[in-house]
Amino acid sequence: MALTDKTILITGGTGSFGQACLKVLLEHYDVRAIRIFSRDELKQSELQARYAGEPRLRFFIGDIRDRERLVRATHGVDLILHAAAMKQVPVAEYNPFEAVQTNVIGAENVVAAAIENGVPHTLALSTDKAVNPVNLYGATKLCAEKIVTQGNAYAADSPVRFASVRYGNVVGSRGSVIPLFVRQAETGELTITDERMTRFWITLPQAVEFVLSRVPMMEGGEVYVPKIPSMRILDVADAIAPDATRRITGIRPGEKLHEVLLTEDEARHALELDDSYVIFPEFPSWRVEPFTGGAAVPEGFRYSSDANDRWLNADELRSMLPTVAVTTP
């Protein structure tokens, strides 16, 4: 689906991804309208002020827990980009019912609203935490992926289709380790949970570009995984504050040493493209067009942050952080 003259709704539209995606859509795509759906009235008012006079922009106060409000907001929409979520691991652990209401029931509501209004395409954002989850946040995002995929079964006799994008940590996003290290650098000491830790990294512009590039490709039920570099936590520390001392605090509950974006079991029904992997649904009861291009993923393949063939060093990470104040050696 081309985005020209289309109406797009972004859930969680005032979040980091939503704001970055909004900017790209307004500057580079000839869309008919963009609807920002979120529950944060302050951020919405700030966005309205920033884009004052932009005739293509609409704002909807609402919560994805509220199905009726979603149904109203998605009326006449061509594409839903579902980015709303509770994503802070400790917060989800302490407030499990709330995380389920937002990440699981919210995903169900998005799917239901899309089906009721005949929205042709819905693309949901997922995370590496959803793969073999060890914390509640990851478990809820795994559930959300399954709900989005199986939404195609409920819409099998219509043009409505659903897919997901699964990627790793966003460089410099709120709640990530980089802003934490930047703050700690002022004290001269960084706290590191485990020196062996590795993570996948993607910049916000890269995430937006990847998500929008998958819209024309989606047939229904796929999970798209970008090929992105890994980084060792010690290299992150070197990039932010090379002269700071380091205190090892021990791995936190619900935390992994390494992240996985594609498992051995998923590899059996996945294809490799130049820039990504595509995981196909195992039991699609809906019509799926044959996927052209790509190569079968090798038997037993596992895409994990510690076994990656692309690595970032401290200098490369610093070059990705033009807006974050870091200490150079």
Q: What angle do CA 223, 226, 228 make, to 5 degrees?
A: 150
> Tens digit of pLDDT for each residue in 103-149?
999 999 999 999 999 999 999 999 999 999 999 999 999 999 999 99
Domain locations along the chain = 7-319
Confidence of residue 327 (pLDDT cuts 50, 70, 90): very low
Confidence of residue 313 (pLDDT cuts 50, 70, 90): confident
Residue 47, Cβ density class (10 Å: 0-12 exposed, 13-18 middle, ≥19 buried): buried
Report the half-sphere exposure of 216 (CA within 13 A, side-chain side). 6
pLDDT for 328: 37
pLDDT for 323: 45
231: β partners:
199
Length, in residues, of the chain: 329
Residue 237, Cβ density class (10 Å: 0-12 exposed, 13-18 middle, ≥19 buried): buried
**Among this protein's residues, is 129 annotated catalytic?**
yes
CA 107/CA 87 separation, integer angstroms:
14
CA 313/CA 250 separation, integer angstroms:
23
Q: Between 51 and 327, where is the model more confident?
A: 51
pLDDT for 253: 78
> Tens digit of pLDDT for each residue in 68-86?
999 999 999 999 999 999 9
What's the CATH number of domain 7-319, 2.60.40.1180, 3.90.1200.10, 2.30.110.10, 3.40.50.720?
A: 3.40.50.720
Q: Which of 129, 141, 227, 256 is catalytic?
A: 129
